[in-house]
A and B are shown apart, each in its own frame.
Chain A
Amino acid sequence: MSALGGVQSLGARSIAFVRDLGRFSVFSLRLGNAARRPPYRWRRLVREIYDTGVLSLVIVCISGLAVGMVLGLQGHNTLARFGATGSLGAVVGLSLIRELGPVLTSLLVAGRAGSAMAAEIASMVVTEQLDGLRMMSVDPLDFVVAPKAQAMLISMPLLSTLFVLFGIFGGYVVGVVVLGGDPGSYMSTLTDAVVFRDDVLGGFLKAGVFGLLVGLVATYRGYTALPTSTGVSAAATSTVVIASVATLIVDYFITALWGY
């Protein structure tokens, strides 16, 4: 009987998962419609970009610098074995532009801004502010939720680009200034190795997709949170977990499909 109970709970979980996925898709489409239709909330959007973009700037830039410095150090030590320390710029730049920039920025922003976004919407659910908006016949999806997702979509590529540039600078500081590499070959191998369509455009695409993903997951988790205090914390936690795992999985598929 207990074996049967296990099978039953597995089935229940599967059904709940598929139902959740379907709700997420419907939510995403409704959000897309709300964002597309005329009452554009420019001022709300500016405020949300401030919250997600501007307030994430410091951690993104510092993290980018640190990641670039580590890449410079590791890359220098490995390349020194082959006497190819001149190629350090290509190693640091390509890994940042293709992978580390978009992915790490997405993970950071999911933790920093995504969780806050979900918690804010969830606490509005708990305190019935969204119901209050509905009573005034203001669509909360249009007024509260859509600008948040849009802000994430806009901020992510910009933050990712800054992450990459700070990383390249960090690699330069360690590889050239500290360890005494050649400054000219750092930049020339970098610009020779990087191709606009494959690398730079691919990186922008990744960052945009991750921005959309994190924005949708955060707003969905907040919007569908249970109206309790644990509902708020659960929304914030599950946003970080789901957005991070989804970023890493989606990253693989974009890399494979973009034809690197």
Chain B
Amino acid sequence: MRESPRQELWVGMFVLVGLAAAAYLSIAIGNLRAGGAGGLEIVATFDEIGGLKPRARVVVGGVKVGQVKAIDLADDFRARVTLDVDEQLPLPADTSASILTSGVLGDQYVALEPGGDPTTLAAGDEIQFTQSAVVLERLIGKLIQNLGSGSSGDGGADGSDDAGGEAADEGGGAE
């Protein structure tokens, strides 16, 4: 029944490797951070957020600095997006936020563009300059509308055809 030290060593290694794997899974893949994630909460209000979802990335120049914490409807029926960004980041007060799409059909994320104001955003501050998401369906709808008004421009083309006919008539008159 006595355990060999070899067996104990194996068990110790097994437990260590298992715990290391659990820590890796939690921290590197599960994005668990000690002492609260992000830290600096700022608010941005958009007319249209498209398909933006909580936990979407917040980037500055393409580098991830935080995530979308919550999305709710403001009193004026605009979308109030709470961003949770790295509190070490000195974002200027005139930073602008826009909702972009990675690729044509990819996930939507919030891109921050720092301005030049010497004062920085504090917790709870609101970003003044925002640019709404581009909704592809609406864009296509507008395109179709434009093509529709383009066909009324075709009416103008018809007119020029008429003019051509008149010219032909004129030509006929010349004959």
Q: Which residues from chain A sit less than 8 Å from chain B, CB to CB?
A: 43, 46-47, 49-50, 53-54, 57, 93, 97, 154-155, 157-159, 161-162, 164-165, 168, 190-192, 194-196, 199-201, 204
**18 pairs, A vs B, C-beta closer than 8 Å:** A50-B7, A50-B14, A53-B15, A54-B11, A97-B25, A157-B22, A159-B18, A161-B21, A164-B25, A165-B21, A165-B25, A168-B29, A192-B57, A194-B31, A195-B30, A196-B31, A200-B29, A200-B32
In contact, B7 and A46 (Cβ under 8 angstroms): yes
In contact, A49 and B11 (Cβ under 8 angstroms): yes
Question: Given A50-B10, A191-B28, A196-B32: A162 and B55 within 8 A (CB)?
Answer: no
Bound-state Cα–Cα, A93 to B28, Å: 13
Extra contacts besides A159-B18, A190-B29, A195-B31 (19): CB < 8 Å: A46-B7, A53-B11, A53-B14, A53-B15, A54-B11, A54-B14, A158-B15, A158-B21, A158-B22, A161-B25, A164-B25, A165-B24, A168-B29, A192-B107, A194-B30, A196-B26, A200-B25, A200-B26, A201-B30
Question: Given A93-B29, A191-B29, A199-B30: A49 and B15 within 8 A (CB)?
Answer: yes
Is B168 located at the chain interface by the 8 A CB criterion? no
In contact, A162 and B11 (Cβ under 8 angstroms): no
Chain A residues with CB below 8 A from B21, complex form: 158, 161-162, 164-165
Is B8 located at the chain interface by the 8 A CB criterion? yes
Is B74 located at the chain interface by the 8 A CB criterion? no
Is B17 located at the chain interface by the 8 A CB criterion? yes
Q: Identify the closest chain A residue to B109 (Cβ).
A: A192
Interface of A is mostly: helix
Q: Nearest Cβ in chain A — how far from B27, in angstroms?
A: 9
Bound-state Cα–Cα, A217 to B31, Å: 35
Q: Identify the closest chain A residue to B33 (Cβ).
A: A196
Of A49, A157, A191, which one neighbours B31 at CB under 8 angstroms? A191
Chain A residues with CB below 8 A from B32, complex form: 196, 200
- Which 9 residue pairs across A and B have the least CB separation, nearest first? A158-B18, A200-B30, A196-B30, A196-B32, A161-B21, A161-B22, A54-B10, A54-B14, A50-B7
Bound-state Cα–Cα, A191 to B28, Å: 7
Q: Identify the closest chain B residue to A93 (Cβ).
A: B29
In contact, B3 and A46 (Cβ under 8 angstroms): yes
Q: Nearest Cβ in chain A — how far from B12, in angstroms?
A: 9
Is B19 located at the chain interface by the 8 A CB criterion? yes
| Interface hub of B7, B29, B32 (most chain A Cβ within 10 A) | B29
Q: Nearest Cβ in chain B — how far from A258, in angstroms?
A: 15
Question: Given A46-B3, A158-B14, A158-B19: A195 and B26 within 8 A (CB)?
Answer: no
Q: Which B84-123 residues have a C-beta within 8 angstroms of A?
A: 107
Bound-state Cα–Cα, A119 to B30, Å: 39
Q: Type the 1/0 row for B144-166, where 1 means its CB is closer than 8 Å to any CB of A.
A: 00000000000000000000000
In contact, A50 and B11 (Cβ under 8 angstroms): yes
Chain B residues with CB below 8 A from A165, complex form: 21, 24-25
Q: Identify the closest chain A residue to B26 (Cβ).
A: A200
Q: Identify the closest chain B residue to A188 (Cβ).
A: B64
Q: Nearest Cβ in chain B — how far from A49, in angstroms?
A: 5
Chain B residues with CB below 8 A from A159, complex form: 18
Bound-state Cα–Cα, A54 to B17, Å: 11
Bound-state Cα–Cα, A168 to B28, Å: 13
Bound-state Cα–Cα, A85 to B21, Å: 26
Bound-state Cα–Cα, A235 to B17, Å: 32
Q: Which B1-47 residues have a C-beta within 8 angstroms of A?
A: 3, 7-8, 10-11, 14-15, 17-19, 21-22, 24-26, 28-32
Q: Identify the closest chain A residue to B18 (Cβ).
A: A158
Chain A residues with CB below 8 A from B22, complex form: 157-158, 161, 204
Question: Given A162-B21, A165-B24: A194 and B29 within 8 A (CB)?
Answer: yes
Chain A residues with CB below 8 A from B15, complex form: 49, 53, 154, 158
Chain A residues with CB below 8 A from B8, complex form: 46
Bound-state Cα–Cα, A196 to B22, Å: 11
Chain A residues with CB below 8 A from B31, complex form: 191, 194-196
